[in-house]
Amino acid sequence: VEEQANGHYPTFREIMLALHYNSVSTVFQHVKKLENLGYLVSDGKARSLRSTKNQFHGFPILGTIHAGGPTIAVEEIQGFLPLPIDQRAHPNAFLLRVKGDSMIGAHIDEGDLVVVDPDTTPVEGDICVAVIGEEATVKKIEKRRNGFYLVPENPYYSPIYITRDTKIIGKVIGLWRSRF
């Protein structure tokens, strides 16, 4: 569905005629399906139907997370990155640039961007972003005999016991590696 030369988007009837359908209701059914899939948007008014293909959808890059010892957590939007992740399923997801090497065993390297969903609660075995006091880190959650730990994926770093002061920010749901 493209904007026409006159600056208006087509009506259902115009779409019906252009596609040689016999009924506006057939167009309506197809349009609703495309809206549900996120390909079209409409505000419900006449001639408001438009394609999302040229709209910018991206996840914010909020700063750096240390894969090493915990460091001061600072949030600042550094930009946006469109990713092949369903943004409707993870509307509050964000990216953090990894600094350090404590997660190299999980193939998370310095310079990578981890995609964090604050609405998804991580469970044992998941990689998460956590804040301890004012310090942030990315680690794997592991249950041990005496409680839960944030565990690095590098033997040169020590696990961190999860206390009441530990705030789990979200689950790491993806990784973006870009080497220029």
178 is catalytic: no
In this structure, what is the dihedral angle of CA atoms 84, 88, 94, 95, given to the nearest 10 degrees?
A: -10
The DSSP bridge pattern shows strands 147-151 and 79-81 to be unpaired
45 is catalytic: no
Catalytic pick from 42, 53, 139, 171? 139
Residues 6+ apart with CB under 8 A from 78: 61, 62, 63, 97
Catalytic pick from 102, 158, 167, 178? 102
- Rounded distance, CA 176 to CA 102, Å? 17
Buried b (16+ CB within 10 A) or exposed e, 14-32: ebbeeeeeeeeeebeeebe
- Rounded distance, CA 76 to CA 114, Å? 15
Q: Mind telling me the catalytic residues?
A: 102, 139
